Amino acid sequence: MELFIPEWLNETDPRVYSNAKAGGGRFLVKSLRSLNSIMVDDLTAEKWARQEGLLQALSADYKIAGCIIMLVALSLMRDYRLLLALWGVSLALMMASRLPVLTLQKRIWGIIPLITVIVTLPAALNLVSDGTPLLILYQGSVNGPAALANPIFITRQGMQAVTILFLRSGISLSMVALLVMTTKVSGLFKSLQSIGIPAHFTFIVEMSYRYLIMLLKISIEMYEARRMRTVGRLTYRQQAALLGSSLGFLFAQSMQLSSEVFQAMTARCYSIERFRDTYAADMLSDSFTPMTPGQLLIDRSK
């Protein structure tokens, strides 16, 4: 058999290539690892839902109803004192359910509410909606171009609106976290069904949930694979660019995967109608062991 082997592969290469400094950490690897442990370990293992606590003891039906009521109430509330009180309630519930309050608070307030603030902050400027000055950013100038003549400031009203949005999104997240973390997935889906949501819909949601976990596992493996070859130190920008391209890749792959998953289901005579009538109830019962993402992956690689 003809085989071309380049000369440089003939010998092992003892040179030490290095463009990395000793001691450098790996920000993204670390954050991915921790994401992994949150999502895959905590969530799939239903670690918190299995322990004893106030909300764990409550039926999923009540929790779902309570959560919906809270979310509606939150969206109507405009008084930040009421919002703070609700936040206090969520904290008390977390403690009573023996959830890791501090870690949770960091995660809850660290991402989505912050993004809300960044996105809505311009609305607090007098350029968008007028109001009384709270913090003046730019004094204005009389002898510059006309566009720069007026002062720019953060308005009191705007700031209030942003704060309320911030509180609302954080507290809503807390409520959802309370529901999701204290309820076993199977119980959650069964309850959704019992409050009248059709079985094939909850089935699709449940599939998506498992599917998401699987994608997460793939993305972590991808990241490991990359780490094996990312032997150089990346700048923050490069890391971000890579993250971007791998998200794109992941998306492309997930499209392909989902069509393959669908093909696999069809190949096993999947039909939504029949499925709803015969299998959905079984699949959502406690005795059903969900296919782990790993299994799906292994099956797929054969």
Q: Which is nearer to other proteins, 29 or 91 (CB)?
A: 29
Q: Residue 227 interacts with other proteins (CB under 8 A)? A: yes
Query: Which two tokens mark 140?
Result: 């204005």
The distance of closest approach from Cβ of residue 293 to other proteins in the complex, given in angstroms and rounded to an integer, is: 12
Q: What is the number of residues in the chain?
A: 302
Out of 36, 160, 239, 246, point to the residue binding other proteins (CB under 8 A).
Answer: 246
Q: Which is nearer to other proteins, 40 or 67 (CB)?
A: 40
* DSSP H or E segment with residue 301: helix 293-301
In order of 42, 60, 137, the CA distances from 180 in angstroms are: 11, 10, 42
Q: Residue 142 interacts with other proteins (CB under 8 A)? A: no
Q: Residue 145 interacts with other proteins (CB under 8 A)? A: no
Alpha helices, H only, 77-198? 80-96, 101-110, 112-120, 156-182, 185-194
The distance of closest approach from Cβ of residue 35 to other proteins in the complex, given in angstroms and rounded to an integer, is: 16
Binding segment for other proteins (CB under 8 A), chosen from 26-34, 137-145, 150-158, 196-204, is: 26-34
Q: Residue 16 interacts with other proteins (CB under 8 A)? A: yes
The distance of closest approach from Cβ of residue 261 to other proteins in the complex, given in angstroms and rounded to an integer, is: 14
Contacts to other proteins from residues 259-298, by CB under 8 A: 297-298
Locus of tokens 């004893």: 52
Q: Residue 235 interacts with other proteins (CB under 8 A)? A: no
Q: Residue 3 interacts with other proteins (CB under 8 A)? A: yes
Out of 252, 264, 272, 281, point to the residue binding other proteins (CB under 8 A).
Answer: 252
Spatial neighbors of 126 by CB under 8 A, at least 6 apart, are 133, 151, 152, 153, 154, 155, 158
Are 152 and 127 a contacting pair, CB within 8 Å?
Answer: yes
One-letter amino acid identity for 196? G
* DSSP letter string, 51-77: S--HHHHS-HHHHHHHHHHHHHHHHH-
Contacts to other proteins from residues 186-225, by CB under 8 A: 218, 221-222, 224-225
Q: Residue 256 interacts with other proteins (CB under 8 A)? A: yes
Alpha helices, H only, 121-155? none
Contacts to other proteins from residues 43-102, by CB under 8 A: 45
